[in-house]
Amino acid sequence: MVNRIVVGAHYGLKDWIAQRATAVIMAVYSVILLAAVGALGPNTFEAWRGLFANGFMKFITFLFFISLFYHAWIGVRDIWMDYVKPTGIRLVLHVLTIFVLVGYAGWAAQILWRL
């Protein structure tokens, strides 16, 4: 087979914006979390549980995790695209990365809504 270079998938802008937007969400969440921990000073398991059992905290924590996983997806995919040349291996790595990140998202939800 003639190994022709194919390029021109016409996507990328959405991911580029998403990477920046998710970074902002994570930064804002970090400030909120530090403020909340600073204000409440939880020093027992119950206090920590109470902090995350709050509806708003639960929502923004989950938003943080979703942002983290989406951000990680774009970043890790960039690494595979930069360094892994064989298309088949790259595709497998992409799929594995998605599975792992979706799994983490489900796990994060399970932990948060167990509180």
Partner 1 sequence: MSANTKRTVQFKIYRYDPDKDNAPYMQDISVELEQSDKKLLDALVRLKVKDDSLAFRRSCREGVCGSDAMNVNGKNRLACLTEVDELPQPIVLRPLPGLPVIRDLIVDMTQFFKQYHSIKPYLINNDPAPERERLQSPEEREELNGLYECILCACCSTSCPSFWWNPDKFVGPAGLLAAYRFIADTRDQATNERLDNLEDPYRLFRCHTIMNCVDVCPKGLNPTKAIGKIKEMMVRRAV
**Contacts with partner 1, residue ranges (CB under 8 A):** 5, 7-17, 78, 81-83
Least CB distance to partner 1 at residue 31 (A)? 24
Is residue 68 within 8 A of residue 22, CB to CB? The reply is yes
Q: Which two tokens mark 62?
A: 């989950």
Least CB distance to partner 1 at residue 25 (A)? 17
- Closest to partner 1 by CB, 21 or 111: 21
Is residue 15 within 8 A of residue 74, CB to CB? The reply is yes
Q: How far is CA 15 from CA 10, 61, 103, in A?
A: 12, 22, 20
- Closest to partner 1 by CB, 8 or 38: 8
- Closest to partner 1 by CB, 11 or 45: 11
